[in-house]
Structure 1
């Protein structure tokens, strides 16, 4: 059994709380992650695209503006797929309720994208093998995931309140690669911590050339729209890492 089957988004309490956060135009997704993902997205005109952990379909909605041939959106959550189907009504898009490690298809995708889903998958090596199999030759993989500097700590309180509220972020147990349960929206959520080196080498070992690695900091949008405290938090620690790789 793979841990991608952890389906917190079909918990109604969690789902309602999450959709409220995700629909906030000042969220980390909108201010920090999405601008980088959009900037690094390769040309998808006329291409076959797979979106893993597509959630509410917001990135698919954006990608449709770029004239892909077809987009397949995967998500483990029935709630998420139902939301995405209401948001996106386009004959070029199909949705499948499944996790990536269980997904089977004869399609070879030109581009695979994933927004903040891979830290829920325990076996990163198996994941990369699967993605290589699904990609066409010279296909592009672009994904964001929680930054290993943020998933490392095992302490419930992540910030050391010295001098100012977000002056020091705790970094401990960095080299201990294992599950990192956290409490989020009154629900236990299991993420998996792996080092930056493990991530990079696993991608390379499974037939990819890494083209770009971006530690996500503040963007023009966040600097313009966030308050000073939120800006300080991101200045002190990167919430996400975005990686772009090419199958060879």
Structure 2
């Protein structure tokens, strides 16, 4: 199973819960992940951009301010694309309901971005092979994924607490690369755990040069706006991994 066979975001109960989380300005996305993605985004003025798993189009709204020539927003969920279309009416943007592995186009993209989608795709090698074909020569791939240190554990209760001593995040089954079902918003969601080495080597093996690897930690925004507990949890472990690579 991979993300393309999970219809959770087209389930109205799940979708409403997700939308509430995603629209929270104090969410992990806004406080931790997006500041890094925006910082690492290459020059896109006059460029063709593909956003994989574009969701409600929040990153696209930001990128439009940077004057790209064209953006294609790709997502497999009708709810997501319909939401994005409601909020973005710009002739430079095209929204497509499709999964990335079956997506076909004549466009060669200068930049491909993806926010927290790739850990839902089972075959990472096939994904990287596909992205290499979609990118123009010297094109840039920038994506975030749930950090392998967070996807490794098979336990549903991910934090342990020893009173008066410390909290710690559970790490187990790190080298067992497989599906990781989790309960989220009263729904079972399937993520795929891969080691950091597998991520790096698969990217390299498919014709990319890795330029940046970032373990996301607290940002100026999170340190200013979050409470002590949220800050502590991020200090204990990086929630996301951001990778920037160039097609060689």
Instruction: Determine whether 1:193 maps to 2:199.
Output: no
Alignment partners' CA distance in 2, 1:85 and 1:102:
22
Q: TM-score, normalised by structure 1?
A: 0.98
Deviations 1:103-144 (A, max 9, x none): 000100000000000000000000000000000000000000
Number of residue-to-residue matches in the alignment: 248
Q: Report the CA distance between 1:3 and its aligned residue.
A: 4.2
Q: Report the CA distance between 1:87 and its aligned residue.
A: 1.3
Alignment partners' CA distance in 2, 1:166 and 1:72:
46
Residues 1:137 and 1:19: Cα distance change in structure 2 (over 3 Å): same
Alignment partners' CA distance in 2, 1:98 and 1:19:
20
Alignment partners' CA distance in 2, 1:179 and 1:136:
32
Q: Structure 1: which 5+ runs fail to align?
A: none
Corresponding residue number in structure 2 for 1:215: 215
Instruction: Determine whether 1:34 maps to 2:20.
Output: no
RMSD: 1.1
Partner of 2:218, secondary structure, is coil
Corresponding residue number in structure 1 for 2:118: 118
Alignment partners' CA distance in 1, 2:29 and 2:165:
22
Contact 1:166 1:233 in 2 (8 A): no
Alignment partners' CA distance in 2, 1:110 and 1:183:
37
Partner of 1:168, secondary structure, is strand
Alignment partners' CA distance in 2, 1:46 and 1:223:
35
Alignment partners' CA distance in 1, 2:154 and 2:45:
43
Corresponding residue number in structure 1 for 2:49: 49
Corresponding residue number in structure 1 for 2:154: 154
Residues 1:139 and 1:185: Cα distance change in structure 2 (over 3 Å): same
Partner of 1:224, secondary structure, is helix
Residues 1:165 and 1:10: Cα distance change in structure 2 (over 3 Å): farther
Alignment of 1:104-143 (within 5 A): 104-143=104-143
Instruction: Determine whether 1:64 maps to 2:64.
Output: yes
Deviating 4+ runs (over 6 angstroms): none
Q: Structure 2: which 5+ runs fail to align?
A: none
Deviations 1:207-234 (A, max 9, x none): 0000000000000000000000000000
Alignment partners' CA distance in 2, 1:38 and 1:67:
14
Deviations 1:165-184 (A, max 9, x none): 97210000000000000000
